[in-house]
Structure 1
Amino acid sequence: MRITLKQLAVFDAVARIGQVAKAAEHLNLSAPATSMALAELEKQLNSRLFERLGNKLHLNAQGSLLLPLASDLLHRVAQIEAAFSSQDGELVGQLNVSASSTIGNYLLAKAAVAFCQQHQESHVELDISNTQAVIQAVAECRSELGFIEGHCADRRIAVEPWHRDKLLVFCHPAHPFANKRVSPAEVTGFPWVLREEGSGTREHFVNAANALAMQPKVKFCFNTPEAIKLAVKQGAGLGVLSELTVEKELSRKELALVTVEGLALERSFYLITHKSRHPTPLGQAFIGFCQNFFNITP
């Protein structure tokens, strides 16, 4: 059996993109050459690696088994190339990172810029989505590092606490609960404006609220903090977001805090990686940089 790096690179690209033609463009190969390399790989492994659904290719069980192994090997080859092309041990290459909305927009975006300014031969490609999408990106080896706000039950993923955060309940300044301490019973029945399904912020809040039998009534849901804050400013209901996202509006008195007795809203942010994938020097350096940048204690 002679599996080539070209075959693995084609497999990796098709797995990430889902289409042979687009994978060929990404690899600067012709579509026939890309199809042939993939067919040769499946022949050598005596296994189909994809199933076609509509106009996209999706990994089957055998493909899902191969992907982390192939991605790890390709990363190791990239490390070898970078080690012999860099000067004085300078970090070189691209690091793919996925982060859920709050972490990505309010923490990692500025950390990625600062990291690349310090290591000018490196690039951090940051994809910002919700927690479930980040877990999927790491599980499929599209991202080496993931930073999430919610729970991860995927057995392929290693999870470790990374940072601390607190959610805040807020409302329009003219709301009867503005700047008040209220009981869970008083809040029951009031409309809420929350993040979308799959969001770690929503998951943590709903679990905490249900523990107090609040049963929050979701009136609106949006996938960005800005949309939620705007809706609450319009009087659509109570909102809940990370304190990182509402600091400015609270200081300007555009929003008002609501303290709900017994509602546990402190939470952890988590760093996730694929268990079958070895960390790259670039990934390890970025984790260490973020710890110093945000003054995170182990």
Structure 2
Amino acid sequence: MRITLKQLSIFEAVARSGQVARAADMMNLSAPATSMALSELEKQLDARLFERVGNRLRLNSQGSLLLPLATEALQKVEQIELLFSSSEGELSGTLNVSASSTIGNHLMAKSAVAFCQQHTSAFVDLDIDNTQAVIKSVLEFRTEVGFIEGQCLDSRIKVEAWHKDNLLVFCHSAHPLAGKRVKPIELRGQPWVMREEGSGTRDYFISAANALDMQPIERFSFSTPDAIKQAVKQGAGLAVLSELTLEKELSRKELAVIEVEGLVLTRQFYRIHHKSRKFTPLCNAFIGFCSKFNKLSI
């Protein structure tokens, strides 16, 4: 059996993209050459690795077994190349990072830029989405490390506490409840502008609100904090976001906080990675850098 690194790279690209044509683009190869290499790998392993679903290829049980092993092997080769091509102590290469909305926009974007300014041969490819999308990216090995606001219960993923964050209930500055302390029952029947399904902010707030029988009524749902803030400024209802996203509007008195008795909205941020994947030196350096860089930001 003679499995090549090229075959493993093509297999990983197909697993990530779900299509031979897209994998071919990623590998700078023709689609026939990519398909041939994948077929040869399956022939050598005497196993099918994918099932076709519509126009996409999805890993079957055999492919799922191979993916973490292939990824680890390719990472080892990359480490060898970096070890012998870089100056001592120099970090280089591309690191794929995913982060949920609040963390990505208000913490990780600044961290990524600062890290790359310090390590000029390194590049951090940061993808910002909601919590569930970040988890999926880690599971599919498209991301080496993820940062999320919500819970992750998948046994294949290692979850570690990272930083903490405070959520605030807020409204238009002219709202009758602006700046007041109220009982949960006083918010029953109020319209709310919510984050989209899959958002860690949404899940955390709904769980806390239901515990107090607040029965929030969703009137609008948006996928970005800016859209939610704009809707609240237009009088669409109440909302909940991280205090990281509200500093400017609160200081300008464009929005106002509502304090709800018994509603505890201090939440944990988490760092996640696939249990089958070991951190590269570049990823370890970035994680350490972020922990120090963000201490003053939270």
> Are 2:140 and 1:119 equivalent residues in the alignment?
no
CA shift for structure 1 position 70 = 1.0
> Are 2:166 and 1:166 equivalent residues in the alignment?
yes
CA shift for structure 1 position 52 = 1.5
Residues 275-286 of structure 1 correspond to what in structure 2 (within 5 A)? 275-286=275-286
CA shift for structure 1 position 172 = 0.6
Distance in 2, matches of 1:186 and 1:62, equals 55
Residues 31-50 of structure 1 correspond to what in structure 2 (within 5 A)? 31-50=31-50
TM-score by length of 2: 0.97
SS at match of 1:166: strand
Distance in 1, matches of 2:31 and 2:269, equals 42
CA shift for structure 1 position 295 = 2.2
Q: Corresponding residue for 2:56?
A: 56
Q: What amino acid maps onto 1:97 in structure 2?
A: V
Distance in 1, matches of 2:165 and 2:18, equals 36
Q: What amino acid maps onto 1:143 in structure 2?
A: T
- 36-45 or 257-266, which moves further after superposition? 36-45
CA shift for structure 1 position 33 = 1.2
Contact 1:95–1:124, Cα closer than 8 Å, also in 2:
yes
> Are 2:234 and 1:234 equivalent residues in the alignment?
yes
Residues 186-225 of structure 1 correspond to what in structure 2 (within 5 A)? 186-225=186-225
CA shift for structure 1 position 59 = 1.5
- 35-44 or 223-232, which moves further after superposition? 35-44
Q: What amino acid maps onto 1:268 in structure 2?
A: Q
CA shift for structure 1 position 88 = 2.3
CA shift for structure 1 position 46 = 2.0
Q: How many residues align?
A: 296
Q: Corresponding residue for 1:88?
A: 88
SS at match of 2:258: strand
Cα offsets for 1:101-135 (capped at 9, x unmatched): 00000000010000000000000000000000000
Runs of 4+ residues over 6 Å off in structure 1: none
Distance in 2, matches of 1:187 and 1:290, equals 38
SS at match of 1:95: strand
Q: Corresponding residue for 1:109?
A: 109
SS at match of 2:141: coil
Distance in 1, matches of 2:234 and 2:61, equals 48
Q: Corresponding residue for 2:177?
A: 177
What fraction of aligned residue pairs are identical, expressed as a percent?
A: 70
Distance in 2, matches of 1:109 and 1:119, equals 15
CA shift for structure 1 position 178 = 0.3
Q: Corresponding residue for 1:145?
A: 145
SS at match of 1:153: coil
Contact 1:193–1:220, Cα closer than 8 Å, also in 2:
yes
Cα offsets for 1:193-244 (capped at 9, x unmatched): 0100000000100000011111211111100000000000000000100000
Cα offsets for 1:68-91 (capped at 9, x unmatched): 221121111111111111012200
Distance in 1, matches of 2:46 and 2:235, equals 61
- 254-263 or 49-58, which moves further after superposition? 49-58
Unaligned runs of 5+ in 2: none
Distance in 2, matches of 1:295 and 1:106, equals 13
Cα offsets for 1:248-273 (capped at 9, x unmatched): 00000000000111011000100001
Contact 1:209–1:263, Cα closer than 8 Å, also in 2:
yes
Unaligned runs of 5+ in 1: none
Cα offsets for 1:127-176 (capped at 9, x unmatched): 00000000010111100000000000111100000001000000011111
CA shift for structure 1 position 61 = 2.0
Q: What amino acid maps onto 1:106 in structure 2?
A: H
Q: What amino acid maps onto 2:176 in structure 1?
A: P
TM-score by length of 1: 0.97
